[in-house]
Structure 1
């Protein structure tokens, strides 16, 4: 029961994040893309750039901010999953304009921090 409610909370904040990004000019492409290597919360376009977005929510920053929750391990999974998504859509990891953003949501959605280029491949 606990994991179901956590999942519903996550979906609620991912929908909030998508609405926020649409208001800021991005276009939705996919939501909750899953592969064996990981999951990407949102995939959107910012003009010609494909944006892979990790949404993080925390009630408060007692155990760290939402943005700090994207660990190096999570970043590696996001990069691998993005490579898979690009190849599945006939796009090259080397010839396609893309970036990784983090949308950190805190205080029940009243505090949204959009971090562009939060993850770099390397």
Structure 2
């Protein structure tokens, strides 16, 4: 279980900027073992993403550039898909996510590029 947590945290939920190693700040989460199923992984991934975004912003403001950042890109993709308002993907209830195939995803990207005010 610990090896699985290390891989999931380091590569998917809470990746670092270099993408090769897990942050030492996440080591306590690895020690959860069997209690991992009761842990709030969404809040953990979101909190890590927000920390990475703040760090990125500080670097950008202080140096004028930033090489990259960490955080859960999957969370950003889901958030993005959940907040676009393009026909026929305008939902009136939660959750508004649906599984997209490549063709539908390409249609969304094309529509977004040609439609103004697609962000809700």
TM-score between the two structures when normalised by the length of structure 1: 0.30
Bigger proportion of residues as helix: 2
TM-score between the two structures when normalised by the length of structure 2: 0.30
Query: Which is greater in Rg?
Result: 2
